[in-house]
Chains A and B, each alone.
Chain A
Amino acid sequence: MNLATLSAGYLRARPLNTALSLLLLALGVGTIVLLVLVVSQLEERMHRDARGIDLVVGAKGSPMQLILSGIYHVDAPTGNIPLAAAQALAGHRLVKRAIPLALGDGWKGFRIVGAGHEYLEHYGAKPVVGRLWVKSMEVVLGAEVAARTGVGVGARFAGSHGISGQGEEHGAAPYDVVGVLGRTGSVLDRLVLTGIESVWQVHEEEHGPQDAQDSKGLEEDREVTVLLLQYASPLAAATLPRQINSKSELQAASPAYETARLFRIVGVGVEALRAFAIVLIIAAGLSVFIALYTALEERRYDLAVMRTLGASPGRLFGLLLMEGLVLAVLGTLIGLVLGHAFASGLGAWLEAQRQYPVTGLEWRAQELWLGAVALAVGVLAALLPAWRAYRTDVSRTLAQG
């Protein structure tokens, strides 16, 4: 028997009030935990994926769409640009590095990306099984792709047109899996990678049999989808985007600017949810306050009896405070578990949709703050009831009873 078990006893004696307070607090804490986890993980991952990429060049359209499709591979591409234009840009003196990508096909919901080996080097990806592609129609799988599909080296599959995996299959041009990449924590984990010429070959075969004479003409028509650029000097940021955007068929978009814009747009929703969660936590505080305060009336005699048994007013104060604290600790713990469970559930759903991944198994420093705030709410809500308990007039209360 101590203050904590005694408090727990009183809380158990009012199961409905206790459950309501716990529910409100847990939902508020859980919602904020979910927001913190999702937003911080998205930000971290998006920054990691965009690291070292200063500019994305592609076909005209929405600049955000260009970033989402070119770097993060979550949106449809804006279109294609001529290979010649891309090569000209790659040779520009303000460009340090240029990585062309050819998109358009998918397999089981994962995207097939045609690229050079430098795309893998950029993210520090290396095969853990097998090797990189050397010939056309050889592919390596990102770690997540291999894990989710269970496919490994030696397998052969046909991609389908369009990234949704619902399009027609390119049955005539199957891919051979020659390697599986190690996990990088970047967008590469969710991609199927091959040489650019594989993507060209798949689509050329769609347009009929290819012969030696045609291939020269096709060379000139060849296209890539996006070009990822790294600047040679800070000066490039001032001039290069404007130069590119002035050309009629090209569009340049800055990942830093577009992701900041994206988070501003998403931020409105996040802020609204956060405000709602804060309202929940305040409601939880009120619920704790009302429960303790109304219960004081029926507990007057109990408190007075405790005084006759030797309890000091300070102990009665502590008892009420402890009840607020027990509610706050329990509510916060349930909220943390809920928040992480929600995040895990959301992560599983996003993974099934082949979307940006989120996990509930990570912890953030903000959660400590959140815990401290929730405890403070519990203590604050209990202060006034505790003060009334402290001031209990034993003699008068007993004389009335």
Chain B
Amino acid sequence: METTLLIYLFFVFLLSAVLGFELISKVPSTLHTPLMSGSNAISGIAIVGALLAAGSGTDDSLSRWLGLAALIAATINVVGGYLVTDRMLEMFKKKDDKQ
């Protein structure tokens, strides 16, 4: 079971990497900065692991602090990343409406 799961994860890894290459090569250079900060916000998906770590209810104090720190860092990444991307894209959008 364990090996099957790992092979499955590698499979997923390979396909997503190829998909990532395909998706990004079509983004025009005008949008490179929002793309970067947007994809950076997505990499804050580590928040899923951070939630599990921070909520484990462990008695080990180092573990608890690690979990809390991980959650704060991941939340900054997610919330800040999406908001700042939205702020930038709003500026790109404005002129679109004017046309």
Binding between chains A and B: no
